Structure 1
Amino acid sequence: MIRVTGISALRRLSLAVLCAATLAACTPADQDRLTRDAARAAITPVLVQRFPGVPVAPAVDCIIENASSRELLSLAADSITGPTANTVELVTNIVSRPDTLTCLLANGLPALL
Structure 2
Amino acid sequence: MRALALLGVVGMALAGCMQDIGAQGDVLARTAAKGVVNNVVAAKLPGVDATPVTDCIIDNASGAEILTIAEAAVVGVDDATSELIVDILARPETARCAASGMLGVSL
Q: TM-score, normalised by structure 2?
A: 0.75
> Which residue is equivalent to 1:86?
80
Give me the CA root mean square deviation: 2.4
Return closer, same or farther for 1:36/1:15 CA change in 2, 3 Å cut-off. closer
Rounded Cα–Cα distance in structure 1 between residues aligned with 2:94 and 2:66: 15
Q: TM-score, normalised by structure 1?
A: 0.71
Moved over 4 A (4+): 14-17
Rounded Cα–Cα distance in structure 1 between residues aligned with 2:36 and 2:89: 14
Q: Which runs of 5+ in 1 are unaligned?
A: 1-13
Rounded Cα–Cα distance in structure 1 between residues aligned with 2:102 and 2:45: 14
Paired residues, what number?
92
Q: Which has the larger radius of gyration?
A: 1
- Give the counterpart of 1:58 among 52, 56, 64: 52
Offset at residue 17 of structure 1 (A): 6.3
Q: Secondary structure at the match of 2:77?
A: coil
Q: Which runs of 5+ in 2 are unaligned?
A: 13-17
- Give the counterpart of 1:48 among 39, 42, 47: 42
> Is the CA contact 2:56–2:94 (under 8 Å) kept in the aligned structure 1?
yes
> Which residue is equivalent to 1:18?
8
Q: Percent identity?
A: 34
Return closer, same or farther for 1:33/1:51 CA change in 2, 3 Å cut-off. same
Offset at residue 108 of structure 1 (A): 2.3
Rounded Cα–Cα distance in structure 2 between residues aligned with 1:108 and 1:17: 32
Rounded Cα–Cα distance in structure 2 between residues aligned with 1:78 and 1:42: 7
> Which residue is equivalent to 1:6?
none
Q: Secondary structure at the match of 2:39?
A: helix
